[in-house]
Amino acid sequence: MDLTFSPPLHKQRHQFVVDFVKRNKPKKVVDLGCGECTLLKMLKFHREIELLVGVDVNGAKVKKKMHGLAPISTDYLEPSYDQLRVELYQGSVTQKDARLKGFDLVTSIELIEHLTPADVELFSEVVFDYMTPKTVIISTPNSEFNIFLPGVSNYRHSDHKFEWTRAEFRSWAMKVCLDYGYEVEFTGVGKAPQGQQEAVGFCSQIGVFYQLGGRDCCKTLLVNDAEDLFSYTLLYSINYPSLCDNNILRRVLVSEVLYWAEKLKNRWMEEQAGGICDAVALCQTEEGACAEEMKDLMEWSGASDSAEKQGSCTSSRIVAVPLDVLWSCYPKVRMLSGSLCNLKHLLMDEPNIKLSQDSSAVLVNHWEQDQEEEEDDYNLDDSGYPEASLHSNSAEQEEDWEAND
């Protein structure tokens, strides 16, 4: 019988975890036996997670793809208030490490069958007695299903130390629950051919364990297990950019303020130059109520230092863009600063922002150049062509059953 899973079985296992995360919104998640971090890379998009950790005994395997867990450009360009820290460790699930205590969710996908029976005992103790997570998802092959897998005479993979029937998995899981105060639900992924599901079960069997009330993970955090505090080796850690970080919030706020101040200034200058109808029309369509506020913009007297340095052909005028205009017109400026008073304080010591003496307005330079000088602005390179701007617009089946072994 040619049995193929769609989506592939390893993806179904990972999707099972992702769906669980979507429903239960855990904040701290650790994937034991994370391998090449495939599951972690899916989980990092679920930003209710604040701490995402991977552990594997095979450090080389983790290192191969771990950089795929780094933030991408949009995480930097448009950071949110969500916080995410990713940590990867080399270590064995048979050993305790205090950094893994008190998690909301521990996942162990196709790992335990790689442990000797003695190590499974240690694993149970480390996970359920020491780490004491609120929930645990464990997946492992269901040996009853092997009759459907061509070429599998003994185990699905040569490194497997055992493959359990549903009854064997159930018996281990029930003992864990009794010993450590959990309850378990059994399910799985990879359905059997039609009509045989009841008799055989899923290809990968899954136990979802829930900590029973009464055990307080916070209390266990206070216990000082000095001798086994940090047995794992940290391979990688990264904090995702978040607006909760004051420096990042300031950076985003400053660029937002500079962008809108420049835009308002340009419109105002257009008005001054006589294109008043066009400028106002633009404001009305794009900024609505802000067209009225434009009249609050004013020219600041005196030339700027840099204008003086530019020589006689270039002169600068300074336009004051009131902070209350920026505050009332632009929701993102409002959202980032919280109040007009905060906006003032956040901008006060910013080296890229020049405020008026009473700190009520942002001062923006407006350069005026002679016609001939303006031609230089096209930045012709040696060839006479304009330079490009930096910111211009701006398993096989076995593999599947086994996945990543």
Q: Which residue has the tokens 């239960």?
A: 24
CB of 109 vs ligand SAM, minimal distance in Å = 4
Q: Could you say which of ligand SAM, Mg ion, none residue 38 binds, taking C-beta under 5 to 8 angstroms by partner kind?
A: ligand SAM
Q: Which is nearer to ligand SAM, 9 or 343 (CB)?
A: 9
- Residue numbers 13-52 binding ligand SAM by CB under 6 A: 33-35, 38-39
- Asked if 403 touches ligand SAM (CB under 6 A), the answer is yes
Q: Residue type at 10?
A: H
CB of 136 vs Mg ion, minimal distance in Å = 18
- Residue numbers 114-133 binding ligand SAM by CB under 6 A: 114-115
Q: Which stretch binds Mg ion (CB under 5 A): 65-73, 111-119, 146-154, 275-283?
A: 111-119
For residue 340, what is the enclosing H or E element?
Answer: helix 340-348
Q: Could you say which of Mg ion, ligand SAM, none residue 243 binds, taking C-beta under 5 to 8 angstroms by partner kind?
A: none
Which neighbouring-strand residues pair with 321? 362
- Asked if 58 touches ligand SAM (CB under 6 A), the answer is yes
**Applying CB under 6 A, which of residues 47, 61, 170, 191 lies at the interface with ligand SAM?**
61
**Cβ(294)–Cβ(263) below 8 Å:** no
**Cβ(184)–Cβ(177) below 8 Å:** yes
CB of 197 vs ligand SAM, minimal distance in Å = 23
Q: Could you say which of Mg ion, ligand SAM, none residue 69 binds, taking C-beta under 5 to 8 angstroms by partner kind?
A: none
Binding-site size, Mg ion (CB under 5 A): 2
* Dist CA 269 CA 319 (whole Å): 9
DSSP 3-state of 247: helix
CB of 236 vs Mg ion, minimal distance in Å = 24
Q: Which residue has the tokens 């639900």?
A: 185
* Dist CA 323 CA 350 (whole Å): 14
Q: Which is nearer to ligand SAM, 91 or 322 (CB)?
A: 91
**Cβ(85)–Cβ(239) below 8 Å:** yes
- Asked if 87 touches Mg ion (CB under 5 A), the answer is no
- Asked if 110 touches Mg ion (CB under 5 A), the answer is yes
> Of 317, 311, 327, 308, nearest to 376 (Cα)?
311
Q: Could you say which of ligand SAM, Mg ion, none residue 57 binds, taking C-beta under 5 to 8 angstroms by partner kind?
A: ligand SAM
The backbone torsions φ and ψ at residue 362, rounded to the nearest 5 degrees and listed phi first, read: -90, 135
- Asked if 369 touches ligand SAM (CB under 6 A), the answer is no
- Residue numbers 73-92 binding ligand SAM by CB under 6 A: 92
Which neighbouring-strand residues pair with 209? 136, 184
Q: Label residues 27-64 b or e (16+ Cβ within 10 Å = b).
A: ebbbbbbbbbbbbbbebbebeebbbbbbbbbeeebbbe
Which residues of this chain interact with ligand SAM, rule CB under 6 A? 10, 33-35, 38-39, 55-58, 61, 92-94, 109-111, 114-115, 403-405
